[in-house]
Amino acid sequence: MLWLAHARKLATLPPALRHARCYSARVKDDSRWPGWDVVVGIEVHAQIKSRKKLFSDAITYSGLANVSVSPFDAAFPGTLPRLNPKCVELGVRTAVALNANVQRRSAFDRKHYFYADLPAGYQITQHYAPFATGGQLQLEINDTCVRIKQIQLEQDTGKSTFDPRNQESSIDLNRAGVGLMEIVSEPDMRSPEEAGQYVRALQALLRAVGSSDGNMEQGSLRCDVNVSVNRRGEPLGTRCEIKNLNSVKFIMVAITSEVRRQIALLENGGSVLQETRGFNEDKAETYSSRSKEDAPDYRYMPDPNLPPLLIGETYVSQIRETMPELPDATRARLLGLGLSRRDADVLMDVDSGREVKDDGVLAPGPVAYFDEVSRGRDPKVVVNWITHELLGQLAFREKAFSNNPIDAKQMGELIDLVQSGKITGTAGKTLLRHMLDNCSAEMPAELASELSLIADDGAALRKWCTQAIKALTQEADVVRGGNVNVVNKILGHVMKASKGRADAKAARAMLLKLLKGEERDRPKGEKPGDS
Amino acid sequence: MLPRFVPATVPCRLAGTTKCFHSKVPGLLSFRDANASVNALVHIAPPERVDGRLDLRVAVKDNICTSGMPTTCSSAMLLGFTSPFDATVVELLQAEGAQLIGKTNCDEFGMGSLNTYSFHNPVINPFQAAGSTVQWTDRERRSAGGSSGGSAASVAAGLKESALATDTGGSIRLPASYCGVVGLKPSYGLVSRWGVVSYADSLDCVGVMARSVDTVKKLFDVISSYDPKDPTAAHPRARKKAVKASHASWLRAPGESLKGLRIGIPQEYFPSELDASTLKPLRRVLEYLKSRDATLIPVSLPTTPYALSAYYVISSAEASSNMARYDGVQYGYFSPTPPDLDKTKAANVYAHSRSSGFGNEVQKRILLGTYALSADAFDNYFLQAQRVRNLVRADFDRVFAVPNVLSPTRRKNKAAEEGIHVLLHPSAIRTAPPLESRDDAQESDESVLDAYVQDVLNVPASLAGLPAMSVPAGLGEDGWPVGVSIVGQWGSDELVMEVGRECERADLAVD
């Protein structure tokens, strides 16, 4: 809650102040390295979830090697780039979500280097004029806000794999030319945990706006991490860049190991050299891969084929208005409906796993489902049914939410049946399980009567109770004798006979009424409802 | 095999042709033998009959992609390479029924002014001076100009009526001038570059070469259409606007004289390197235009002297970038690496193929461009060159009465009343230069520098993206062809051709 209030406050502050707030030094000793400050900045490369590549008509596809490659992707002579407007749209969505300033005019540049997975010998990127600058992302831990320096559109490279046995490299160009967003943070993180948080939050945000599926295992989100250390109160240290980290866990391990390495160097009187480092996952260590002296000159050149990218304010506001809800807003809204923090988190956790389809289309997740079902219903009741019953039963069946066979209309009617007392809660759960097992398209009301789950109208209850008392005369006598607890045994008989249609509470009251009514004059009684 | 092309004699009766030397091409010489003497076509397509609106046989410069014929760019790097697709210009012509007869020789990737930097060997200018007594096949060996030498020479030799060519800094206009044919470099962006192998994207233009302005126009009208596959293609709106602006500025009623047309003569286009003997034909053209009621106005384009350096920095920078893709991995030439090579670095493997696949001139420009783009030199070279380029554009905008519809800061042209409609200047500083003997492997620095200076008159229009056309203007004192160039405001291509047609008549009139 505290966090939420803070977020709201931030949003109303002018950008300059927001940055000032972000930048405030957080001096807190870390028991792992007392007396040292750690500074981390991250460059995230997120594949844009567009159906086609950034500059060609080839489909973005990552299956069989080299099947989705246009002549442009393979840098055939005579080919020219054509900007895919969908990629721009998804980029702008991301920029808006990160509160960044979308530039009216940006441009594309060529970054030159020779590598087999870069067929043209250059990558088209936005070096001189990125399309968005100056945003921020709020983290949940330590009340931290990470500033975003810039976001640029660029091409992904092909994928090269080296087979050490045959000493052979294989190149797959399916990935060559896929759109990427390079999201560059300011060095605002102060611990491995904050860095991990940042990447997770960014991942969730990209997924929420549908601009990337943010899948690190499959390489659609990759991180380069800049790390430096300095003694408290001293100027910033020399940074090293750790390239190509592909999981949040490795990011945190790599930073921890790099911090220890740098501190050890400095404590032994050495100095940190600016360099690019790799990460050995098995040894959990970073290793030197390229020193500053070896840093290539990329010979950036404005791309002569691509005109400047002009993005008007109308376009941006149009996207702002039609954009999917951001995680912060969703959480705030859910809490505002009276949902518990835990329920909101469960809904959103499952929601963040929903499929991000091509061109920013999002598969409906549990949040949208909840919204639909709770229309005109008590949100708290609805969220209980969804989180406790539906999601629980789906998990039990090892089914993803996307495979949920019960649509919102069915779910709504089921909840209505229970709420109106037409069926009991137990019967409702039975019905839900039945619908999940049979993937039934029938409406719950019909199913309930087919399955004889409709609760009794009172007459039946009286009948079941009378029958139970007759069947269990001994127990009935014991109850009459004052041992009220024994009524539960008779109640069990009622429930069995009614096949769950009887409401347990009502049945108990009825039994007591029938049994005690016979001796109405006796002053002894139990408090009702203490079962 | 090729009955339709034999014999290669070309009569002068084609309307609008320049004074012909073709009678010198012996009537019995076959198409193949004639081509062997000129070395214009590097690939000859099997004959086919196509019926269509365009009854034209067109040759295509070897840097324009054709799916049915190899596209080598006259480079060992692309020897045997066939593109999987046709260039848009090729598609457009074929859709109109034009017949592609082959691919024409050129300087490697379009880099050169003499068509000597070709893996297929130089093009020999088919021209033979009137007084010569030797056999045509033994004629004086002169350059056809470059880089579109093969396109110009094949038209001049009558191997076909017209050719598609490209012009980055004069590559159409210069060979047109040397070979005595018409060559149009259209406004940048009017003709699609999809399928045209990039040399310097911001300058490359596809154009047409033919024996008459009419034929040039016929082809231009077909290939000048908006292509969404070319991100630098001019939008139909801009095209319409430019035509409107041009018409509003000066439009001749049919059959009328050139009354009201103001032709600018830029003083900077007569440099000291200009051979004075080429001035006589130019003067004749100017006299003729005057007699047709055109007004000649001396103008100054003060940035011209800097244009050549800016051009070479920009074109080389872009070339170094565009040539990066030729690494022998995806396609093209791959030179097997020696066993002792350190293959852990991709650059070593690439360097091997690139050093043996590219010719000297291309390597020279790659190095120059790589330097211009390096972090230390970028500001002083590349950015400085871009500034000069803007000044060159501003120079033109200042003198033209026709406004530049592409200019973001389009002010009401002050010169509208006294501004000019087209510029006219010599196409080259001399007639076709002699080819050095084949054994002369090492070129002198001087001849290299000369080749660069040749472009001095042509690069300003390229830098500004303006339409420019070279039209035969007669013969120089040595008896070899001389061309004049007409340059118009962006989108004034029709006007340029209109004036070109008049110059063509001037050439006939004085005969």
Q: Check CB contact under 8 Å for A119 and B325.
A: yes
Q: By the 8 A CB rule, do A217 and A246 touch? A: yes
Q: Which position among B118, B171, B224, B320 bears the catalytic label?
A: B171
pLDDT at B242: 97
Q: Check CB contact under 8 Å for A78 and B195.
A: yes
- Residue A359 has which token pair? 């061109």
CA distance B21 to B373: 46
CA distance A41 to A253: 15
pLDDT at B223: 97
| DSSP structure string for A119-149 | TTSEEEE-SSS-SEEEEEEE-SGGG-EEEEE
- In this complex, the residue of A80, A299, A304 whose CB is nearest that of residue B374 is A299
- Residue A21 has which token pair? 């707030």
Specify the length of chain B in residues.
511
Q: Which residues of A touch B319 (CB under 8 A)?
A: none
Domain with CATH 1.10.10 in chain A: 459-517
pLDDT at B412: 55
CA distance B232 to B464: 14
| Neighbour count for residue A456 (Cβ, 10 Å) | 17
Q: Which position among B75, B147, B162, B198 bears the catalytic label?
A: B147
pLDDT at A116: 87
* pLDDT of B174 strictly over 90: yes
- Residue A225 has which token pair? 């991490």
Q: By the 8 A CB rule, do B265 and B499 touch? A: no
**Count of helices and strands (H, E) across chain A:** 18, 16
Q: Closest Cα of chain A to B405: distance in Å?
A: 16
- In this complex, the residue of B318, B325, B346 whose CB is nearest that of residue A115 is B346
CA distance B243 to A188: 56
* End-to-end Cα distance, chain A: 37
Write down all domains in chain B, each with its CATH number in brackets. Answer: 12-511 (3.90.1300.10)
Q: Check CB contact under 8 Å for B228 and A82.
A: yes
Strands (DSSP E) contained in B12-79 are: 41-44, 57-61
Q: CA quadruple A465, A467, A471, A474: dihedral positive or negative?
A: positive
CA-based nearest residue in chain B for residue A73: B330
Q: Which position among B61, B185, B217, B218 bears the catalytic label?
A: B61
Q: By the 8 A CB rule, do B433 and B449 touch? A: no
* pLDDT of B416 strictly over 70: no
- Residue A492 has which token pair? 């069990």
Q: Check CB contact under 8 Å for A78 and B198.
A: yes
- Which residue in B399, B398, B417 sits closest to B249, CA to CA? B417
Q: Is A238 exposed, middle or buried (0-12, 13-18, 19+ CB in 10 A)?
A: middle
CA dist B53 to B48, B88, B89, B214, Å? Answer: 16, 18, 16, 15
Question: Left, alpha or beta for A320 (phi > 0: left; psi -120 to 50: alpha)?
Answer: alpha
Q: Check CB contact under 8 Å for A116 and B346.
A: yes
Q: Which residues of A touch B318 (CB under 8 A)?
A: 301, 304
- In this complex, the residue of A71, A83, A119 whose CB is nearest that of residue B85 is A71
Q: By the 8 A CB rule, do B232 and B406 touch? A: no
Residues 6 or more apart in contact with residue B504 via CB below 8 angstroms: B16, B18, B182, B212, B213, B471, B472
Residue B368's SS3 state is helix
Q: Check CB contact under 8 Å for A114 and B231.
A: no
CA dist B452 to B147, B171, B239, B365, B488, Å? Answer: 12, 12, 32, 12, 24
pLDDT at A73: 97
Q: Check CB contact under 8 Å for A116 and B329.
A: yes
* pLDDT of B115 strictly over 50: yes
- Determine the topology of domain A459-517 in CATH: Arc Repressor Mutant, subunit A (1.10.10)
Q: Closest Cα of chain A to B52: distance in Å?
A: 27
DSSP H helical segments within A119-233, as ranges? Answer: 192-209
User: For B30-78, what is each residue's pLDDT tens digit?
Assistant: 888 899 999 999 999 987 665 666 678 999 999 999 999 999 999 999 9
* pLDDT of B438 strictly over 80: no
Torsion angle defined by CA atoms of residues B126, B132, B133 and B137, in that order, rounded to the nearest 10 degrees: -10
Helical (H) or strand (E) element with B100: strand B99-104
CB pairs < 8 Å spanning A and B: 98
Q: Check CB contact under 8 Å for B198 and A77.
A: yes
Q: Check CB contact under 8 Å for A121 and B325.
A: yes
User: For B264-313, what is each residue's pLDDT tens digit?
Assistant: 999 999 988 888 888 999 999 999 999 999 999 999 999 998 999 999 99
* pLDDT of B21 strictly over 50: no
- Residue whose structure tokens are 């029924």: B97
- Residue B328 has which token pair? 């022998």
CA distance A15 to A35: 32
| Neighbour count for residue B53 (Cβ, 10 Å) | 11
B30 is catalytic: no
Mutate which: A305, A306, A310, vs B, most B CBs within 10 A: A305
Q: Which residues of B touch A122 (CB under 8 A)?
A: 321, 324
Kindly report which listed range (A247-251, A341-345, B210-214, B217-221) carries the lowest average pLDDT score.
A341-345
CA dist B292 to A520, B18, B184, B295, Å? Answer: 130, 20, 23, 9
B61 is catalytic: yes
- In this complex, the residue of B321, B330, B350 whose CB is nearest that of residue A114 is B350
Q: Check CB contact under 8 Å for A299 and B84.
A: no
pLDDT at A349: 87
- Which residue in B478, B487, B440, B491 sits closest to B220, CA to CA? B491
Kindly report which listed range (A177-191, A485-499, B429-443, B494-508) carries the lowest average pLDDT score.
B429-443
Show the low-confidence residues of chain A (pLDDT under 70): 1-27, 456-457, 517-531
* End-to-end Cα distance, chain B: 38
- Residue whose structure tokens are 């070469």: B209
Structure letter (DSSP) for residue B424: E
DSSP H helical segments within A337-472, as ranges? Answer: 341-351, 366-373, 379-384, 391-396, 408-419, 425-438, 444-450, 459-471
Helix axes of B493-509 and B213-223: crossing angle, nearest 10 degrees: 160
CA-based nearest residue in chain A for residue B383: A301
Q: Check CB contact under 8 Å for A74 and B330.
A: yes
B171 is catalytic: yes
pLDDT at B253: 82
The band of B144, judged by pLDDT with boundaries at 50, 70 and 90, is very high
CA distance A327 to B338: 58
Q: Which residues of B touch A306 (CB under 8 A)?
A: 231
Task: Enumerate chain A positions whose Cβ falls within 8 A of a Cβ in B.
Answer: 71, 74-83, 110, 112, 114-116, 119-122, 171, 297, 299-301, 304-307
Q: Which residues of B touch A305 (CB under 8 A)?
A: 198, 201, 231-232
Mutate which: A57, A66, A79, A155, vs B, most B CBs within 10 A: A79
- Residue B163 has which token pair? 């050719």
Mean pLDDT for the stretch of residues B220-225: 97
**Count of helices and strands (H, E) across chain B:** 14, 11
CA distance A56 to B85: 15
- Average pLDDT over chain B, rounded to whole? 89
Instruction: Identify whether B336 is preceded by a cis peptide bond (ω within 30 of 0).
Output: no
Q: CA quadruple B299, B305, B309, B312: dihedral positive or negative?
A: positive
CA dist A439 to A129, A355, A409, A414, A449, Å? Answer: 53, 21, 14, 15, 17
Mutate which: B202, B229, B325, B374, vs A, most A CBs within 10 A: B325
| DSSP structure string for B449-488 | HHHHHHGGGTHHHHHHT--EEEEEEEE-TTS-EEEEEEEE
- Residue A404 has which token pair? 């949920």
- Residue whose structure tokens are 């030159």: A112
pLDDT at B17: 36
ipTM of the complex: 0.93
User: For B76-91, what is each residue's pLDDT tens digit?
Assistant: 999 999 999 999 999 9
Kindly report which listed range (A422-436, B110-124, B204-218) carries the lowest average pLDDT score.
A422-436
Q: Closest Cα of chain A to B447: distance in Å?
A: 31
Residues 6 or more apart in contact with residue B124 via CB below 8 angstroms: B37, B38, B39, B141, B142, B144, B153, B435
pLDDT at B345: 78
Q: By the 8 A CB rule, do B209 and B151 touch? A: yes
CA-based nearest residue in chain B for residue A77: B197
Q: Closest Cα of chain B to A311: distance in Å?
A: 17
